[in-house]
Each structure stands twice: as structure tokens, then as C-alpha cells.
Amino acid sequence: MQISKHVHSLWLDFEIKLKDGTSVPRFVTSYIIESNKKIFLIDTALKHSSKTILEYIDSIGRNPEEIQGVINTHSHFDHIGGNLFFQEKYNPMFYAHHLEVPYIQDIELQHQERPVGEMIHNVGGPISIDKTIGEGDSLFLGDLEIQIFHTPGHSIGSISLFIPEDRVFICGDVLPEEGTLPIYENVNSTLSSLRKIERMDCIETLLSSLSRKVSKGEDVLKHIKSGENYLKKIQSLIDKLKNDNKNLIEITEITTMIFKELNLPKSGIIPIVLKSIQAHQN
């Protein structure tokens, strides 16, 4: 879907396969930023997503040989799965925040520290990051500037992108989506990142990789506030549970109770989600 003159969004469905044979439905978002001569691909989704991404590039009259760079907003498996394919096929520059590099370059490390079912099998393989990027940096597609912001919370090295000419802000996975699985590593960092985005009065269009919404105008702030309120709601539920249950409650039990209150499926209680609930108690 074309969002603005230079920005396109692709919402790609997949499932998280669990060891017990069940699965959790999810989607991931990739973005294409184009200028007159070159393309940036933002996140490569899963290894089997490459075909869909290439078909979309062809549908807008562009050639994948024009891909100048690939930017990973963070290192989670569903955002780096196609890295190896694009590196081997087109050899673009790869960019990521330095705190995410170890997990992109060593997917076994990520599988050990951030287990998400069988998601490692959706990654083509590790790749080498050519250049690290962070707060205050800019990348260019010809004259088109892409500004980089460090927005940790979902992961320690998560970044967001702003295209000033289009006034489009891509916030990766840092903005929690109400009614979906809570996935973040640090609650305070997430809130700080959201408040940083709120202070940017130059955003006309907001794109969150956790949402199929395209928020514009006044809806930009409303969308960010809904993410903040979702975090605060979860915190409030946890505080109440701990207050009502003086005996120490195990994290899986707490999460089960929270999921019931939020009307979330039990199948979504996976290790990376348990870590998110744990983050509210740190």
C-alpha cells in the first residue's frame, strides 16, 4: 500500500509455531522507501516473505536491483528473516543499531535469549551489519533524507525513522497495540520513547509495525496515547493482583490472570510475552 510519495507499507501474515504443535497468528510489517533512483527496504520480515516483497517492488514499477540498503528497526526474528536472501541476491548495505547487531549476526544467541517458539526456522540465516546507526543519524536516498531515532523499549536497540519530506514517522514495534500480545523488554523505556515521539509536532502520518492503522493528523497523538494507556492498564492490573494476593504468585499465573482480564488468547502466553509481564515488576 502506498502511504505517501516515497513510502509504501506491506502487512505480511504469519504464524508463530509452538513446540506443542499449536500456533499463534501474527503479522509483520515491511516498508519500502523509494526515491527517483534507489530504494531502502525497512525490515525483511520472514524468509518466505521475500517473494511477496519482490512482487510488490515489481508492482510499483521498481527493480529489486535498486535496493541501496536494508534497515532493521530491531533484531526480532520476524523483522530479519529475509536478511540473508537480500544480502546474497542483491548485496545492499545493511543498517541497524549497535545494540541489536549481536542478535542479527548470531541468530542462535537470539534463540537462546529471546525464545519465540520455532521462529528461528523462519530466518534465512545470520548476516553481517555493514553500518550501525542511532539517534541523530541520517541516511539519504539521493536527496531524500531519512532521520534515525533511538526508541528503545520493545528491544534495547529499537530505532524509528522519520522522512521529513513526507512527514511520515515509522516507529517499528515500540508502540504497543491495545488488544494484542504485550511484547516489550522495558516498560519505562517504552514510555520514554512514546513521549519522545509525542513531542515531535512535525509528524503528519504515523506507521506502527504492530498495527495495520495508518494514523494521520489528530489520530497520530491518539494512537500513541492508546499505546501508553495499554501499558498503564497492564501495570494497574498487575499491581492489583499483587495487592489482592499476598502470597508470591508465579509469573505464568499472573500472566494467565492478566490475559483473562484483557481477553487475550491463552495460546499467546509464550516466553517472550512472559518476559514482558515480568518487565512490569522490575
Tens digits of pLDDT across the chain (282 residues): 999 999 999 999 888 877 777 777 888 999 999 998 899 999 999 999 999 999 999 999 999 999 999 999 999 999 999 999 999 999 999 999 999 999 999 999 999 988 887 889 899 999 999 999 999 999 999 999 999 999 999 999 999 999 999 999 999 999 999 999 999 999 999 999 999 999 999 999 999 999 999 999 999 999 999 999 999 999 999 998 888 876 767 899 999 999 999 999 888 898 899 999 999 987
For 11, the domain range is: 7-230
- Strands of 168-170's sheet in order across: 138-141, 144-150, 159-163, 168-170, 205-207, 214-216
CATH number for the domain including 207?
3.60.15.10
Total of domains in the chain: 1
Is residue 280 in a domain? no
Based on its alpha-carbon atoms, the radius of gyration of the chain, rounded to whole angstroms, reads 19
Is residue 237 in a domain? no
Q: Locate 254 and state its grid cell.
A: 499472573
pLDDT given for residue 248 in this prediction: 61
Handedness of CA 61, 96, 268, 181 (dihedral sign): negative
Is residue 132 in a domain? yes
Enumerate the β-bridge partners of residue 32: 8, 41
Is residue 197 in a domain? yes
